[in-house]
């Protein structure tokens, strides 16, 4: 993993999302992690929580992420 730029406030972004059942929080090593800008990472995390709520994604619910 490439180290963050000197003087930057790094955050770690993971996929699958650490908050998901199959995510980085499981501890199985089957995930991708990259340093990102910490404020952007916090913003994305907040958006993720809002999405979970709006689409009523509950614990162990399946969902897909499509990136275009």
Both tokens assigned to 39: 């404020």
Provide the pLDDT for residue 50: 96
23-to-6, 13, 33 alpha-carbon distances in Å? 28, 11, 11
Provide the pLDDT for residue 46: 93
The answer to whether the CB of 24 falls within 8 A of the CB of 16 is yes
Q: What is the pLDDT of residues 15-68, one digit of tens each?
A: 778 788 888 777 788 888 888 888 888 998 999 999 999 999 998 888 888 878
Asked whether residue 1 carries a pLDDT value surpassing 70, the answer given is no
CA 9/CA 44 separation, integer angstroms: 15
């Amino acid at each position: 993993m490439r180290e963050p730029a000197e003087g930057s406030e790094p955050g770690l972004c993971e996929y699958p999302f650490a908050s998901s059942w199959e995510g980085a929080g499981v501890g199985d090593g089957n995930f991708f992690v990259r340093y990102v800008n910490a404020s952007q990472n916090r913003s994305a995390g907040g958006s993720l929580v809002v999405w979970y709520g709006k689409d009523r994604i509950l614990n162990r619910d399946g969902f897909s992420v499509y990136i275009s």
